[in-house]
C-alpha cells in the first residue's frame, strides 16, 4: 500500500502505482494530472503502445473511437491495432483483426446472465436452450488504459502478428451456438470486423436463435453504437456498458481516457430501449475498486442511469487486484453493500451484486 504524495494520507486503499488518493485526484486535479499522465505513459510504453493518442498534423485520422488519433505514417493509434500503412488505415477490418474466440457453455458467467434471454429464460427469441453455447469473441486491443485491467496479458504479444477475418469468425458459428458475445480488450477499435462478422453470421443462420451481445467501454463513434444496438435489438441480445466512474478525474486516473463519449453513447443507447424493453437491450456494470469507486461514486453513476430509465439493469462487480493495482485489496462485502444501497437509493430498480465470490 502507498501514501498519497499530495496529502500524505497513509491508507490501505491508496494504490502504489498511483500513489494518489481519490480525494486528491478529485480536489487537486491540476496538480495530479502530470503524474497521472506519466503513469499511463509508462504503463503503455512497456508494451510498445503510444503513451497518448497520436496527434500528428500530417497523420491519418481514425474516427472509430473518442481518441480520434491522427496516426503518422508507419505508426499505430492509441489502441495499438489501427495503423497507418502508406497513408491508409489498416487493422481491425473485416479482412483481418487481432482476435480469438472460444465456445462457452450456457448459461455462462456473463454480466447480463440474470436478465438476458438465455440466462433468465426469457422467451425472446428462443429462450433458454439445453446444450447451447456462447461464441465468446475476444478482441486483443483496447481504447482505454485501465490500470486494473484483468485481461492485460494480450498486450504481451504483437496485435498484428496473427489476424483472422470476419468470414472465419462467422463460419465458427456451430449448430448449437445460441449467442455471440464480443468483448476484450474492447471491440470498439475493431468494430468494422465485429459488425461484418455479425452481419455474416446472421445472414448464414436466418431461421434460428443467434443473439448478438457486446461488452464495451462505450467509447466508439456514435454511428457505430447505433449499428451495434440494432444487431442486439433484432437478435434478442444486449449491449453491456462498463461505466467505470462518473467523476472525470477518477475516470482519467484509472483509465487514462475521458468518459464523455461513454456517457453520451449510454444515453443514446437508452433512447432505443422502447424498441424492445424485454429482455433489456442495455445493461450497465461498475467494478468496485477499493479506495476509488466507493458508494458516493456508485450513487452518482446510478443517478445518471436512473434519470435515463430506472429499469436499466445495473451490476456491481467485485474487484481483485490485477495489472498495476495488485496491491489493492479485494472489494469488501461492506463496501459492496454500501454501493448497492447507494444505487437503489438513486432510484434504480434492478441492481445486483456480481462476482460475490470475490468479496472479502
Mean pLDDT value of segment 268-289: 97
With CA atoms as reference, report the closest residue to 297 among 307, 305, 288, 284: 288
21: exposed, middle or buried (Cβ count in 10 Å: 0-12, 13-18, 19+): buried
pTM for the full predicted model: 0.95
pLDDT in tens, 36-81: 999 999 999 999 999 999 999 999 999 999 999 999 999 999 999 9
Rounded to the nearest 10 degrees, how much is the dihedral formed by the CA atoms of 320, 79, 140, 82? 170
Q: How confident is the model at residue 130 (pLDDT cuts 50, 70, 90)?
A: low
Q: How many CB atoms lie within 10 A of CB 273?
A: 18
Q: Average pLDDT for residues 88-92, to the nearest whole number?
A: 95
- The fraction of the chain above a pLDDT of 90, given in percent, is 84
Query: Where do runs of H (alpha helix) occur along 122-281?
Result: 166-171, 191-204, 222-235, 248-255, 260-270
pLDDT of residue 343 exceeding 80: yes
Q: What percent of the chain has pLDDT over 70?
A: 95
At 91-103, the pLDDT tens digits run 999 999 999 999 9
Whether pLDDT at 129 is above 90? no
Residue 334 pLDDT > 90: yes
Beta strand pairing status for 70-71 and 60-61?
antiparallel
Inter-CA distances, 319 with 2, 175, 246, 326, Å: 18, 36, 17, 10
pLDDT at 122: 57
pLDDT digits (tens, 9 = 90+) for 227-278: 999 999 999 999 999 999 999 999 999 999 999 999 999 999 999 999 999 9
Q: Is the pLDDT of residue 159 over 60?
A: no
Q: At CA 330, angle to CA 328 and CA 334, rounded to 5?
A: 120
Mean pLDDT of 195-207: 96
- pLDDT for 183 beyond 60: yes
- The least confident of 119-133, 223-237, 287-301, 314-328 is 119-133
Would you state the pLDDT for residue 127?
Answer: 53
Q: Nearest 5°: phi and psi at 341?
A: -65, -40
Which residues are bridge partners to 55 per DSSP?
70
β-bridge mates for residue 103, sequence order: 135
Q: Are strands 133-139 and 177-184 parallel, antiparallel or unpaired?
A: parallel
For the chain, state the CA radius of gyration.
20
Higher pLDDT, 352 or 106: 352
Q: pLDDT at position 360, please?
A: 84
The neighbour count for residue 74, using CB atoms within 10 Å, is 9
Say how far apart CA 234 and CA 345 lie, in whole Å: 33
Look at 50 and 10; give whichever has higher pLDDT.
50
143-164: average pLDDT: 85
What is the pLDDT at residue 157? 74
| CATH value of 99-358 in 3.40.1830.10, 3.20.20.70, 3.40.50.300, 1.10.8.640 | 3.20.20.70
Which of 124-133, 136-145, 284-293 has the least mean pLDDT? Answer: 124-133
Query: Which of 146-160, 174-188, 227-241, 298-312 has the weakest average pLDDT?
Result: 146-160
> Is the pLDDT score of 118 beyond 80?
no
pLDDT value at 280 more than 60: yes
Cell, residue 88: 491508409
pLDDT computed for residue 239 by the predictor: 98
CA distances to 24, 40, 52, 251, 252 from 19, rounded to whole Å, are: 10, 13, 21, 16, 15
158: confidence class by pLDDT, cuts 50, 70, 90: low
Pair type for strands 133-139 and 99-105: antiparallel
Q: What's the pLDDT at 121?
A: 59
Among 340, 335, 278, 332, which residue's Cα sits nearest to residue 314?
Answer: 340
Q: What is the pLDDT of residues 134-147, one digit of tens each?
A: 999 999 999 999 99
Amino acid at each position: 500500500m502507498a501514501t498519497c504524495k499530495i496529502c500524505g494520507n497513509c491508507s490501505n486503499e491508496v494504490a502504489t502505482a498511483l500513489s494518489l488518493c481519490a480525494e486528491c485526484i478529485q480536489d487537486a486535479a491540476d496538480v495530479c494530472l502530470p503524474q497521472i499522465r506519466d503513469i499511463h505513459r509508462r504503463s503503455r510504453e512497456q508494451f510498445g503502445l503510444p503513451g497518448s493518442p497520436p496527434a500528428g498534423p500530417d497523420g491519418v485520422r481514425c474516427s472509430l473511437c473518442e481518441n480520434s488519433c491522427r496516426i503518422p505514417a508507419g505508426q499505430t493509434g492509441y489502441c495499438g491495432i489501427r495503423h497507418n500503412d502508406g497513408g491508409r488505415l489498416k487493422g481491425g477490418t473485416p479482412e483481418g483483426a487481432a482476435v480469438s474466440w472460444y465456445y462457452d457453455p450456457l448459461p455462462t458467467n456473463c454480466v447480463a446472465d440474470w436478465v438476458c434471454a438465455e440466462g433468465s429464460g426469457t422467451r425472446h427469441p428462443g429462450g433458454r436452450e439445453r446444450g447451447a453455447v456462447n461464441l465468446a469473441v475476444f478482441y486483443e486491443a483496447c481504447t482505454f488504459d485501465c490500470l486494473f485491467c484483468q485481461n492485460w496479458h494480450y498486450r504481451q504479444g504483437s496485435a498484428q502478428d496473427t489476424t483472422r477475418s470476419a468470414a472465419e469468425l462467422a463460419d465458427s458459428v456451430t449448430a448449437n451456438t445460441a449467442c455471440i458475445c464480443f468483448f476484450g480488450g474492447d471491440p470498439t477499435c475493431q468494430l468494422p470486423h465485429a459488425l461484418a462478422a455479425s452481419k455474416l453470421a446472421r445472414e448464414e443462420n436466418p431461421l434460428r436463435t443467434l443473439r448478438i451481445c457486446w461488452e464495451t467501454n462505450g467509447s466508439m463513434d456514435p454511428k457505430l453504437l447505433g449499428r451495434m444496438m440494432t444487431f442486439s435489438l433484432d437478435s434478442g441480445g444486449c449491449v453491456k456498458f462498463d461505466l467505470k466512474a462518473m467523476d472525470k478525474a477518477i475516470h482519467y486516473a484509472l483509465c487514462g481516457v475521458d468518459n464523455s463519449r461513454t456517457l453520451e453513447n449510454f444515453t443514446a443507447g437508452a433512447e432505443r430501449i422502447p424498441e424492445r424493453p424485454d429482455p433489456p437491450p442495455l445493461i450497465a456494470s461498475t467494478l468496485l475498486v477499493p479506495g476509488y469507486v466507493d458508494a458516493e461514486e456508485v450513487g452518482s453513476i446510478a443517478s445518471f442511469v436512473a434519470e435515463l430509465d430506472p429499469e436499466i439493469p445495473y451490476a456491481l462487480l467485485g474487484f481483485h487486484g490485477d495489472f498495476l493495482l495488485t496491491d489493492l485489496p479485494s472489494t469488501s462485502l461492506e463496501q459492496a453493500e454500501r454501493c448497492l444501497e447507494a444505487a437503489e437509493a438513486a432510484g434504480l430498480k434492478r441492481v445486483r451484486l456480481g462476482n460475490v465470490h470475490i468479496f472479502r
